[in-house]
Amino acid sequence: MKRMVLFSGGVDSTALLLQELESGSDVLVVHLILKTETNRWQLEMVACARVIAELHARGYDFEYMDVTVDATAMGGGRDSWYYIQTAANIARNREDIIAVAVGFIDDEAEAIAFPQTINNTELFRGCKGTSCAELTYPLAGKTKKELIAKMGNLFECTFSCRVPVGIEPCGQCNTCKAIKEAL
Ligand SMILES: [Zn+2]
């Protein structure tokens, strides 16, 4: 039985993945390549490859899968909607997924919006397993400072900015600000 970890290559989902692996969970890592108007998805892909390589170097083993979705062709919308749709599609087609772990921490409005999205669409209804994959938020209540402190050199592998300038973080978006405050 596996826990699905939704993984973007950013600080939070990298911390989540590390925590799941440290606790000995059998993990399916799912990276959504979400193509939007910016080049963020390309920078996230690079970050994901770096994080995965570092985790392998640390001796962790896990199943990895990526799914490409072109959000520009679908009219944009919230990232969380695409993530949850992707997670549900996978969970529906596999009997070994018992939980979906999402790397939200308490200070993010997304943590509230995300379960509401699911309640509204009931995407997880019809999962193949004995019960529908449960959504979990293992980082709830933690701070970015705590997450970064535990990660060591994994932090340098991550990319979290929402609106990159070229290949650099913008330094201005909420995610950049939160990381700056945490450092
Ligand atoms: Zn930024």
Q: Which residues contact 62 (CB under 8 A, 6 or more apart)?
A: 21, 26, 27, 28, 29, 55
Ligand 1 geometric centre to CA of 150 (Å): 22
Residue 176 Cα to ligand 1 midpoint, Å, equals 4
**Residue 138 carries which side chain, given as an amino acid letter?**
P
Cα-to-centroid distance, 174 and ligand 1 (Å): 7
Rounded to the nearest angstrom, the distance between the alpha carbon of 179 and the centre of ligand 1 is 9
Between the CA of 165 and the centroid of ligand 1 the distance, in Å, is 8
Q: Check: CB of residue 161 under 8 Å from CB of residue 169.
A: yes
Tell me the CA–centroid distance for residue 127 and ligand 1, in Å: 36
Q: How far apart are the first and last CA of the chain?
A: 36
pLDDT of res. 109: 58
Can you tell me the distance from the alpha carbon of 98 to that of 79, in angstroms, rounded to the nearest whole number? 23
Give the pLDDT confidence score for residue 137 in this predicted structure: 86
Beta-strand relationship, 134-136 and 27-35? unpaired
**pLDDT tens per residue, range 14-64:** 999 999 999 999 999 999 999 988 899 999 999 999 999 999 999 999 999
pLDDT score, position 121: 46
- Residue 95's pLDDT is 83
**Ligand 1 center to 163 CA (angstroms):** 5
Could you tell me the distance, in angstroms and rounded to a whole number, from the CA of residue 57 to the centre of ligand 1? 28
Across 75-81, average pLDDT: 74
| CA 31 / ligand 1 centre spacing (Å) | 20
For residue 9, what are its two tokens? 């290559």
Residue 12 has pLDDT above 90, yes or no: yes
* 149 pLDDT more than 50: yes
What's the domain count of the chain? 1
CATH at 142:
3.40.50.620
113 alpha carbon – ligand 1 mean position (Å): 21
Is the pLDDT at 177 greater than 80? The verdict is yes
Ligand 1 center to 178 CA (angstroms): 10
Range of the domain at 43: 2-182
pTM of the model: 0.88
The Cα–Cα gap between 100 and 84 comes to 9
Q: What is the pLDDT averaged over residues 71-92?
A: 80
- Conformation bin of residue 57: beta by default, left when phi > 0, alpha when psi is -120 to 50: alpha
The mean pLDDT value for 133-154 works out to 90
Q: What is the mean pLDDT of the chain?
A: 86
